[in-house]
Amino acid sequence: MLTVCIQAGGASSRMGEDKALKPFLGRPLIQRVIERLAPLAGEIIVTTNRPTDYQFLGPRLISDLKPGRGALGGLYTAIASAAHPLVAVVACDMPFASSRLIEAMTRLLVQEEADVVIPKSEEGYEPFHAVYRRETCLPAIEAAIAADQWKVIAWFPQVKVRTLSSDEIKAFDPQGLAFWNVNTPEEFAQAEELAQSE
């Protein structure tokens, strides 16, 4: 079974307001992301340090278990809090997060007995649209944090990582929009426009 964790921990500094809660086609953006991935999930959790703002959503809300440890601490919180052995972690600001891609990655993780299945785009690894095996990833991330490492992928050498190539990504995300995170009001408006023609 799969836990889907939506991460709503960022500062949204370039947006000027909390982008997770900013209305996207009339509903909070995070709600759109949750609805896109809900069909895959045995459980949905949301990581946030402002739980009262997100109570209306319904899923279990988790605050940072390792405060002040940035994105790696957020990833640790997501994986540590999951009830299921496999965990898909997705950022709250990806309006085109792809359930087809997450489903394919989960299948690969099981078939190839990998610990992480992660897409690699031109921007690099996409750790916040990836699937993790809780049992093996958790101790590796804990060790990285204990060693004062900060990079989200610092612990990858300790586990079996299956990287998705751009061709594999394209098969499930032909428009190449899955990893697009909206950071500015302009990008937000552009994404809404695209979403209307979906």
pTM (predicted TM-score): 0.95
Would you say 116 and 75 are in contact if contact means Cβ atoms under 8 Å apart?
no
pLDDT grade, residue 12 (50/70/90)? low
Say yes or no to pLDDT of 92 above 90.
yes
Domain tally, the chain: 1
Distance (Å, rounded) from C-alpha 99 to C-alpha 44? Answer: 13
Tokens describing residue 138? 């958790």
Strand pairing partners for 118? Answer: 163
Distance (Å, rounded) from C-alpha 141 to C-alpha 76? Answer: 6
The arithmetic mean of pLDDT across residues 78-105, rounded, is 97
* pLDDT tens-digit readout, 27-68: 999 999 999 999 999 999 999 989 999 999 999 999 999 988
Distance (Å, rounded) from C-alpha 196 to C-alpha 56? Answer: 25
**Closest alpha carbon to 47 in 26, 24, 30:** 30
* Average pLDDT value for the chain: 93
**Closest alpha carbon to 44 in 74, 77, 88:** 88
Domain extent, residue 171, equals: 2-196
pLDDT grade, residue 18 (50/70/90)? confident
Name the least confident of 5-14, 28-37, 145-154: 5-14
- What is the per-residue pLDDT for 189? 93
Name the least confident of 14-28, 78-92, 103-117: 14-28
CATH number at 97 reads 3.90.550.10
* pLDDT tens-digit readout, 174-186: 999 999 999 888 9
pLDDT grade, residue 197 (50/70/90)? confident
